[in-house]
Copies of this chain bind each other. A is one copy, B any other.
Amino acid sequence: MYSVKELQQIISIEIEKQAVLLGKTKPGNLYQPLEYILRMKGKRFRPALILLVYNLFKEDIQTALPAAVGIEFFHNFTLLHDDIMDNANVRRNNPSVHAKYNHATAILSGDALSILAHQYFLKLTSPNILEILSLFLQTAVEVCEGQQYDIDFEDRIDVTQNEYLEMTRLKTAVLLACCAKIGALLGEGSAKDTQHLYDFGMYLGMSFQLQDDLLDAYGDFSTFGKCIGKDIVANKKTFLLIHALEKANPAQRRILESWLLKKTCNEEEKIAVVKNIFDQINVKSYTETKIERYYQKAMDCLKKISIAAEKKHSIKNFVHMLMRRSQ
Contact = CB atoms under 8 A, between A and B. Distances in A.
Interface of A: 26-27, 29-30, 81, 84-85, 103-104, 107-108, 110-112, 114-116, 118-119, 122, 129-130, 133-134, 137-138, 140-141, 144-145, 147-149, 151-152
Contacts of A149: 27
Contacts of A119: 134, 137-138, 141
Chain A interface mostly: helix
Contacts of A116: 141
Contacts of A110: 111
Count copies of this chain in the complex. Answer: 2
Given A114-B114, A152-B27, A122 B137 contact: yes
A87 to B, nearest CB: 9
Contact of A147 (B108, B115, B129, B144): B108
25 contacts: A27-B148, A29-B151, A29-B152, A30-B144, A81-B107, A81-B111, A84-B103, A85-B107, A108-B147, A108-B151, A110-B111, A111-B114, A111-B144, A112-B141, A114-B114, A114-B115, A115-B144, A118-B137, A119-B134, A119-B138, A119-B141, A122-B130, A122-B133, A122-B137, A129-B130
Contacts of A114: 111, 114-115
A118 B149 CA distance: 23
Contacts of A30: 144-145, 148
A24 to B, nearest CB: 14
Nearest to A129: B130
Nearest to A141: B115
A71 to B, nearest CB: 14
A21 to B, nearest CB: 14
